[in-house]
């Protein structure tokens, strides 16, 4: 069942980032259907979070989509090469977003292998946000599209992740001041071999 927009429009981005574990994400790009189980996320909480693109209500052409109502895709390019998939949450102007860091691929493996040019190790296909965006065929052209549509969407297929299986850890690659450098807003499924790093 496709997740309703009301799922994304709740106020607590950290809770939603945890709840995304075990949900399925899919893309249908030019007729190529692919996707898998979300196994790793990072929460970014709007204007008070030093790690967020919207820290201190910063607003640019790049991050404008973060200010939309929850349930849309926010794509940005990292290091000029990696397309990063984020899910906007909360009400309009709250600027919360969740970076999807890794999925366990389950559908459209042939499309993901071809996009990534990785044919000998499916564990690498969607391991890390840059790899994930490329594997799903996503780029800046998907920025702003609704998760209620048929191009990118999430589903609840009854995959239950127990509280004991959820690991909370510091987010990766942030050179910022405390407490936001070490705040445990990265979540992943314990023991899953598809997460980006331990």
Q: Is the predicted pLDDT of residue 80 greater than 80, yes or no?
A: no
Structure tokens at 31: 């007729």
Distance CA 64, CA 23 (A): 26
Q: Where are the domains of the chain?
A: 5-189
pLDDT for position 62: 87
Give the residue-averaged pLDDT of 151-160.
Answer: 97
Stated pTM of the model: 0.96
Distance CA 84, CA 86 (A): 6
pLDDT for position 78: 74
Q: What is the average pLDDT value for the chain, to the nearest integer?
A: 95
Confidence at 99, pLDDT banded by 50, 70, 90: very high
Confidence at 161, pLDDT banded by 50, 70, 90: very high
Say yes or no: domain 5-189 is CATH 3.10.300.10.
yes
Contact 154, 160 (CB under 8 A): no
Structure tokens at 179: 């407490």
How many helices, marked H, and strands, marked E, lie in the chain?
4, 8
Per-residue pLDDT tens digits for 54-71: 999 999 988 999 999 999
Q: Is the predicted pLDDT of residue 197 greater than 90, yes or no?
A: no
Q: Is the predicted pLDDT of residue 198 greater than 90, yes or no?
A: no
Give the residue-averaged pLDDT of 174-195.
Answer: 96
């Amino acid at each position: 069942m496709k997740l309703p927009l009301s799922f994304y429009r709740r106020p607590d981005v950290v809770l939603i980032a945890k709840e995304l574990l075990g949900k399925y994400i899919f893309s249908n790009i030019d007729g190529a259907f692919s996707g898998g189980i979300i196994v790793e996320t990072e929460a970014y909480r709007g204007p008070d979070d030093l790690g967020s693109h919207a820290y201190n209500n910063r607003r640019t052409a790049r991050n404008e989509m973060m200010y939309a109502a929850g349930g849309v895709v926010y794509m940005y390019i990292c290091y000029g090469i990696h397309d990063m998939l984020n899910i906007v949450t909360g009400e309009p102007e709250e600027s919360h977003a969740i970076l999807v860091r890794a999925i366990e691929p389950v559908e459209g493996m042939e499309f993901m292998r071809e996009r990534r040019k990785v044919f000998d190790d499916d564990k690498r296909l969607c391991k890390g946000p840059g790899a994930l965006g490329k594997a799903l065929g996503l780029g800046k052209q998907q920025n702003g599209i609704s998760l209620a549509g048929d191009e990118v969407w999430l589903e609840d297929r009854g995959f239950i992740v127990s509280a004991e299986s959820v690991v909370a850890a510091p987010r990766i690659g942030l050179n910022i001041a405390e407490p936001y450098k070490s705040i445990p807003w990265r979540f992943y499924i314990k023991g899953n071999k598809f997460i980006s790093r331990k």
